[in-house]
Structure 1
Amino acid sequence: MSQKPQNLLVIMSDEHSIKALGCYGSDIVQTPNLDRLAANGTRFSSAYCSSPVCIPSRASFAVGKYIHQVGYWDNADAYDGEVPSWHHHLRERSHDVVSIGKLHFRKTGEDHGFSEEIVPMHILEGKGDLMGLVRSELPVRKGAYKMAHYAGPGESTYTMYDRDITARAQVWLRERALKQAESDKPWVLFVSLVAPHFPLTAPPEHYYRYYNQNLPMPKLYGQDERPTHPYLQDYRKSFNYDDYFDRDAVKRAIAGYYGLCSFLDENVGKILTSLEEAGLADSTRIVYTSDHGDNLGTRGMWGKSTMFEEAAAVPMIIAGDGIPKNKVIDTSVSHVDIYPFILDAMGNDEPQLREGYPGVSLFDVAQDQVPDRNVLVEYHGMGSATGAFMIRNGKYKYVYYVGYPAQLFDLESDPEELTDLGTNPKYEAVLEECREKLWAICDPNAVDARAKSRQAVLLAENGGREAVIARGDLGFTPVPGVAFTLD
C-alpha cells in the first residue's frame, strides 16, 4: 500500500553478517548507531539477500526480481541497466534518485536509472571476476592469500573510499536541505559503503577494540568439525583462504572484520547525524541492509557464497513515518521486498510497476501481514560446480543442489545450523514439502542449465577456460581511480 510520500535514505553495506550487530544479538560487536536505528524502527530478524555474492545480489536489489527471473548470474555478469530498476521508474516520474559509492554494475556510461552516480564503483574492465565463469574442475584461487595477508590494523583503499563516500553523503544531505523547497517530489539517496568487505584492514581505533579481547574461534573451525557436504568441499578447495591461516591470523581477521563493522557503524552515524542536523529527519524514511553476509571462518570458510545464515542472511532495518518503532519481525523477508517498499515510500501505487514482481512491501510485513510464500536465495557463481537454491519454509531452511544431496536445517531448534537433517529419514515428508514449494517458485535444474549456458557464452567470449584462469584472481574490486593488478 502506498504511503505518504517522503524522502528515502537507503544505506547499504557490503558483506555485513547478521552475527555482527548488537541489535541482532552480538555481545561482542559494537554498533550503537545501527542499534539506535533499529530501536527507532522495525528490524527484520530473518531477512535474506537474493544471492550471497555482490553482483547478482545488487542486480536483484535494483530490479526487484530474483536472479532466475533476470539473469546477472555471477560476478562476471553485472547489471547493465537493460532490465528496468526502481531507480529508472522513480526518475521517469521526476524523482531525484542519486547514488553515492559502490554499485558494482557493469560500467560507467550505461544508464542504470540514477539521476546521478557519485564516485561509483563498477566492475573491473566491465568484465569483473571471469574465473567465476568456470563451473567445472574449479580452479584454485591464487589471490586467496589476501584474506589473511591484509588482516590487521591500518587504512586500506576501501576504508579511504568509505570515508570519501560518507563525506560526500553528508555534503549531499546538507546541500539538499537548502534546496528542499525547489521540488515537491521526494528524493531517494542510495549510499553504498564497502565495509566490512575484505581486505580486513580496520582503522586502529576499531581494530584494537577487538584484537585486545579474547575472541572465540569461529564455529566448527577445527578440521574434524567441518561439514563434508560436497558443495562446501568445492568451495573450500577453490577459495582456499584457510590455507593461509593460523590461530594468530584468525584472530587478526576476526578483529579486522569486527573493527570494520564498527567503522561502518561510525560512518552510518555520521550520515544519520547530518540528516538530523540538516532538518531532514522528520521528512525522510531510512533503510539499512547489506548485499550479503560473510562466513568469517565458520566451518573453515571465509567470504560468502554459501546458504548458511552467516552468508545468505542480511541485516534489514527500516525507520520513519508509518513504520512501527522498536519492533522485531520474525517473518522471513527478502531484498526483493524492498522494491515495492520503495514504491510505497514514494506514494506510487501504479499496478503495472508491480505485476510479475515477487516482493511484498516491508510496510505490510511490518504491520504483521504474513505473506503466503517462501523467500528464495540462489547461487550460480565462483567456487560452485552446481547451482544452489535455498528457501525458508517456516522454521525450516531447505537447500537444494543440482546433483548433490539436499540440506535441511531446523532454525528454531538449531539456529546455528549445526545439524543437517537432509539425510535423516524422519524428515522425508518435510523434505518433500520443501521440494514442492521450491519447484513452485522455479525449476532449479532448468535454471542451473540456463545459468551455465550463459556462462559458457561469456567464457568463450573471453578466450576460454585457460585464458580466463591465466588472467588471474580479482580478490576485491579496485576503488575508483586506483590502479589494480590481478593475481
Structure 2
Amino acid sequence: MEKPARNLLIIMSDEHNPKVLGCAGHPMVETPNLDRLAARGTRFTSAYCTSPVCIPARASFAVGKYVHQMGYWDNADAYDGVVPSWHHTLRDRGHEVVSIGKLHFRLAGEDHGFSDEIIPMHVIEGKGDLMGLVRSDLPVRKGAYKMANLAGPGESQYTFYDREIAARAQVWLREAAKRKHDKPWVLFVSFVAPHFPLTAPPQHFYKYYDRQIPLPKLYRRDERPMHPYLVDYRGSFNYDDYFDDQKLKKALAGYYGLCSFLDENIGLVLGALEDAGLVEDTRVIYTSDHGDNLGTRGLWGKSTMFEEASGVPLIMAGPDVAAGCVVDTPASHVDVYPYILEATGETQPGLLEGYPGVSLDTLAAGEHPDRNVLVEYHGMGSTTGAFMIRHRHFKYVYYIDYPPQLFDLKADPEEFEDLAADPACAAILAECHQRLLAICEPHRVDQLVRERQAVLLAANGGRAAVIERGDLGFSPAPGAAIVFD
C-alpha cells in the first residue's frame, strides 16, 4: 500500500564507522540521540556506501547509481550536476530541496539540483585530491602526519563548521514550519564529524581519554594482514608512522569524542524538528558517506573494503516507520534513492527505470531481493581497482591485479580469516565472481577509470605537477585557510 507523502530530513555525517554507535553495541561510545532515533525507527545493520571515499560516495548517493554507472570515480572527479540527482528530480516537480553543510561537489554556482545550498563545502579549487590520480609507484602522503599530530582536545575548523551547520538547520526547520508548502520538502543536513582532524571538544574528548581504551583490532605490526592492496595503502597513507602510544590514545579518544559531538548536533536538529511541530509530518534518515578504519589492521581513513570503512550506519524513522526494527539484509546507498522519491510522493512510472536500488521500505518490510550490493574503489592509495559484493553472508573482494579476498561474515564478523585460498571455499568463490560479473565487468570498468584519470592528470600538468601541488590532508571548511603539504 502506498504511504502518504511527507517531508524528509536527511542527516549525513562524514567517515562514521558503523560500529561506533551505542545502538550498534559499541561498549564505550555514547550516542544517545542516534540511539533514540534507532529506537523509534528502523536500523540497517549491513548497509554499505558505494565507494569508501568522499566524492564518489556522495555523488552516488545523489545520483542513485553505482560508481561504474555514473563516473565520478575518485576524489579528483567531483559531481558537477550533469548526471541528474534526486535533488533535480524533486525540485523539478515542485518540492523545496535544500542542503546545509558539506556536499563535496565540484564548484559553487553549478546546478546540483538544490533549491538552495546553505554554507556548502565543495572540493578545493574545483579539483579536489589530484594526487589520487597517480595510481602507480604511489607517492607518500606528506599530510599524513596530521592524523596523529592534530588529535586531542579542542576545536578545529571542522567543529566550528559543524556548529554552524547545526545552527542553520535549526533555524531552517523553525522557519519552514511557518511557511506553506504545496509539496513535501526535503532538507539535507550534512555534517563533517567525525572526519579527521581528530580534534574533539574537551567535554567529549575527556569522557573517553580519561578511560582505558582498548587497542584497535589487529593493530600490532605482527598482527596486521599483509594483502598487497593493504600494503599499498599503508605505504602511501602512512598515518601510523606518526603514532606512539599516547598519540594513538588521543586519536581514538578524539574520534570517539567527535562521534558524541556529532550526536549532540544531531540532537539539536531533531529537537528543532520536534519544537517546530514537524515530527508527525517528517521522515528522517541518518547515514554517513562511508566509514573509517580507525586504526584496525594498522589502517586509518577509508579506502578499504572492510566493514569499518565500506560499511555505513543507516537509520530511518518517522510516523509510519516500524519502531525498534533491525534489518540485517544487505542494503546500499543506492537503495536510498527510490525511498526518497516514494517518501515524498513521487511514484510516477518510469522515474526509477535504470536505477539499481531497492527501496529501504521494501527491505524493512522483510523482503530479501535476489541481488548483490556492490562497493567499488578506484582512487587514492590504490594501484588497482577493487570491487566488493555481499552474497548472502559472504563478502567477496575482487582486485584487478591482486588475489581476491573472501570473508564469511556470519562465522567471522570481524573479518579475521580470509578464505579465498581455502579449497573448501572454491565453489562459493566462483559463484561470487559470477555474481560480480552480472553487475559489471571489472576489467572494462578499470580501463574506463584509467582513461579518465589519465585525461585529468594530463590536464593538471602530469604526475610531477600534482605531487608538487601536494596533499591537504583534509579539505578546508568554507572560509578556512588552504595549506598544502
Alpha-carbon distance in 2 for matches of 1:294, 1:328: 22
Write out per-residue CA displacement over residues 195-234 of structure 1, whole angstroms, 9 at most, x where no aligned residue.
Answer: 0000000000000000011000011011110000000000
Could you say which residue in structure 1 is the equivalent of 2:34? 34
Whether the 8 Å CA contact 1:238–1:383 is kept in 2: the answer is yes
Could you say which residue in structure 2 is the equivalent of 1:296? 294
Could you say which residue in structure 2 is the equivalent of 1:133? 133
Could you say which residue in structure 1 is the equivalent of 2:175? 175
Equivalent residue letter for 2:370? D
Equivalent residue letter for 2:85? S
State the secondary structure of the residue aligned to 2:218: coil
Write out per-residue CA displacement over residues 355-405 of structure 1, whole angstroms, 9 at most, x where no aligned residue.
Answer: 000000001111111111000000000000000000000010000000100
State the secondary structure of the residue aligned to 2:404: strand
Could you say which residue in structure 1 is the equivalent of 2:367? 369
Alpha-carbon distance in 1 for matches of 2:176, 2:297: 46
CA shift, 1:351, in A, is 2.4
Could you say which residue in structure 2 is the equivalent of 1:228? 226
Given the alignment, which residue of 268, 271, 279 partners 1:270? 268
CA shift, 1:349, in A, is 1.1
Whether the 8 Å CA contact 1:14–1:197 is kept in 2: the answer is yes
CA shift, 1:459, in A, is 0.1
Equivalent residue letter for 2:62? A
Report whether the alignment pairs 1:484 with 2:482: yes
Write out per-residue CA displacement over residues 259-291 of structure 1, whole angstroms, 9 at most, x where no aligned residue.
Answer: 000000000000000000000000000000000
State the secondary structure of the residue aligned to 1:113: coil
Could you say which residue in structure 2 is the equivalent of 1:430? 428
Runs of 4+ in 1 over 4 A off after TM superposition: none
Q: How many residues align?
A: 485
Could you say which residue in structure 1 is the equivalent of 2:99? 99
Alpha-carbon distance in 2 for matches of 1:337, 1:84: 16
Equivalent residue letter for 2:79? Y
State the secondary structure of the residue aligned to 2:337: helix
Alpha-carbon distance in 2 for matches of 1:115, 1:254: 38
Report whether the alignment pairs 1:17 with 2:17: yes
Alpha-carbon distance in 1 for matches of 2:443, 2:22: 39
Whether the 8 Å CA contact 1:142–1:472 is kept in 2: the answer is yes
Write out per-residue CA displacement over residues 68-121 of structure 1, whole angstroms, 9 at most, x where no aligned residue.
Answer: 000000000000000000000000000000000000000001000000000000
CA shift, 1:2, in A, is 4.6
Could you say which residue in structure 1 is the equivalent of 2:201? 203
CA shift, 1:322, in A, is 2.5
Report whether the alignment pairs 1:144 with 2:144: yes
Equivalent residue letter for 1:433? E
Given the alignment, which residue of 390, 393, 414 partners 1:392? 390
Alpha-carbon distance in 1 for matches of 2:401, 2:161: 41
Alpha-carbon distance in 2 for matches of 1:351, 1:67: 24
CA shift, 1:321, in A, is 2.9
TM-score calculated relative to the size of structure 1: 0.99
Whether the 8 Å CA contact 1:3–1:346 is kept in 2: the answer is no
CA shift, 1:452, in A, is 1.0
Whether the 8 Å CA contact 1:20–1:29 is kept in 2: the answer is yes
TM-score calculated relative to the size of structure 2: 0.99
Could you say which residue in structure 1 is the equivalent of 2:85? 85
Q: Alpha carbons of 1:465 and 1:2: their partners in 2 closer, same or farther (altered >3 Å)?
A: farther
Alpha-carbon distance in 2 for matches of 1:134, 1:362: 37
State the secondary structure of the residue aligned to 1:390: strand
Write out per-residue CA displacement over residues 308-327 of structure 1, whole angstroms, 9 at most, x where no aligned residue.
Answer: 00000000000013311100
Whether the 8 Å CA contact 1:46–1:332 is kept in 2: the answer is yes
Report whether the alignment pairs 1:119 with 2:123: no
Q: CA RMSD in A?
A: 0.7
Write out per-residue CA displacement over residues 134-179 of structure 1, whole angstroms, 9 at most, x where no aligned residue.
Answer: 0111100000000001000000000000000000000000011111
Alpha-carbon distance in 2 for matches of 1:401, 1:126: 30
State the secondary structure of the residue aligned to 2:160: helix
Given the alignment, which residue of 456, 463, 476 partners 2:461? 463
Equivalent residue letter for 2:326? V
Could you say which residue in structure 2 is the equivalent of 1:74? 74
Could you say which residue in structure 2 is the equivalent of 1:157? 157
Could you say which residue in structure 1 is the equivalent of 2:438? 440
Could you say which residue in structure 1 is the equivalent of 2:212? 214
Whether the 8 Å CA contact 1:2–1:346 is kept in 2: the answer is no
State the secondary structure of the residue aligned to 1:73: coil
Unaligned runs of 5+ in 1: none
Alpha-carbon distance in 2 for matches of 1:424, 1:131: 37
Alpha-carbon distance in 2 for matches of 1:351, 1:236: 47
Alpha-carbon distance in 2 for matches of 1:474, 1:421: 37
Equivalent residue letter for 2:74? D
Alpha-carbon distance in 2 for matches of 1:96, 1:261: 30
Whether the 8 Å CA contact 1:206–1:262 is kept in 2: the answer is yes
Report whether the alignment pairs 1:189 with 2:187: yes
CA shift, 1:352, in A, is 2.0
State the secondary structure of the residue aligned to 2:50: coil
State the secondary structure of the residue aligned to 2:194: coil
Could you say which residue in structure 1 is the equivalent of 2:340? 342
